[in-house]
Amino acid sequence: MMHGAGGEVMAELLAVLTRMEHTNAGGIGLEAMDDGAVIPVNGTNIVFTTDSHIVRPVFFPGGDIGRIAVSGTVNDLAMMGGRPVALSCGMIIEEGYDVADLERIVRSMDEALGEVGASLVTGDTKVMERGALDGIAINTAGIGIADKVVRDNGLCPGDRIIVSGTLGDHGFAILAQREGFDLGEQIRSDVAPLWGLVERALAAGDIHAMKDPTRGGFASAINEMAKKSGVMVRISESALPVRKSVRSAALMLGIDPLEVANEGKVVMGVPETCCDAVLAAIRSHPYGADAAVVGMVTEGSGVIMETDAGGERFIEPPAGDPVPRVC
């Protein structure tokens, strides 16, 4: 399970799965290990991505597998500067699955598509024998158009690090629902399609790098960005936006909220000169009300957190997400 959890262990598996020669279509291909690929066609940057979704439970506070399926693909396109245009959907459904639940999932997908003006244009359906599958699995692929391609390896010394909202919401919402924990204040998933928010940010100023902190959470995303960019990132613990309910759950369960998946957040590296403008643009969107500047980029390597106690510690890339099967 750790090989699919988005952390350091998964990187070992990907080294095997990506050992191919035919991985580049003349643009940014699989070798970049980014959120998607860029295929230049007649001067247009076509962004292409694909994602598969196995969520347990299928329905949870704040969303369901359908909303995740669309949002995850839309967000992968958006992280590369791509305006989502068209998505495909492949569903593998267990024999005996409730048709009313399928209708609910499809409605969620349709609503998420409507938020960003994209369309579902093709798909495929397979049914497996009862017991051969845990309910339903969904694959979505998407294409988008990028006026300017943004990669996750473009951090530069002096850049400010922005997160678009509170961290850990999705993973803890799934965990609480799955295990039947009563955590007092309800924790809801943040799952959302982020193109509208990213579009405002791109219009407000220059963005050097973007990544959505899904499996492995913020810790995995910021380490990957720093390593690919060849820089050090310094994070202020006091600046990190984490809900009180999530902090309480994290302390009780011994899980670092920075290592837990998010499905409606983005991590950005922006130049200091346009940081205020980009932050204001993000905060102007409903999904970015809690956005914050959490750190800066310097020369060096690794990710260091300046703690509330006045010390420093490394934010290490996690071995994997502590809450499996969340997206």
Q: How far is it, in rounded angstroms, from Cα 28 to Cα 185?
A: 44
- The burial class, CB within 10 Å (0-12 / 13-18 / 19+), for 251 is exposed
Confidence bin at 180 (pLDDT 50/70/90): confident
Q: What is the pTM of this model?
A: 0.90
CA geometry: angle at 55 spanning 262 and 31, to 5°?
A: 65
Q: What is the pLDDT of residue 1?
A: 61
Asked whether the predicted pLDDT for residue 24 surpasses 90, the reply is no
Tell me the average pLDDT across 79-88.
Answer: 97
CA geometry: angle at 184 spanning 239 and 290, to 5°?
A: 25
Domains present along the chain, CATH in parentheses: 35-146 (3.30.1330.10), 160-314 (3.90.650.10)
Percent of the chain scoring above 70 in pLDDT: 88
CA geometry: angle at 61 spanning 284 and 162, to 5°?
A: 35
Q: For 105-145, write each residue's pLDDT tens digit.
A: 999 999 999 999 999 999 999 999 999 988 999 999 999 99
Q: How far is it, in rounded angstroms, from Cα 274 to Cα 301?
A: 24
Q: What is the pLDDT of residue 322?
A: 79
Q: What is the pLDDT of residue 37?
A: 87
Which residues have CB under 8 Å from 132's CB, separation 6+? 94, 95
Q: What is the pLDDT of residue 283?
A: 98
Confidence bin at 282 (pLDDT 50/70/90): very high
Q: How far is it, in rounded angstroms, from Cα 32 to Cα 35?
A: 9
Q: What is the pLDDT of residue 22?
A: 63
Q: Return the bridge partners of 122, or none.
A: 88
Confidence bin at 214 (pLDDT 50/70/90): very high
Asked whether the predicted pLDDT for residue 154 surpasses 80, the reply is yes
Asked whether the predicted pLDDT for residue 208 surpasses 70, the reply is yes
When mean pLDDT is compared over 33-37, 177-181, 283-287, the highest value belongs to 283-287
Which of the pair, 198 or 8, is modelled with greater confidence?
A: 198
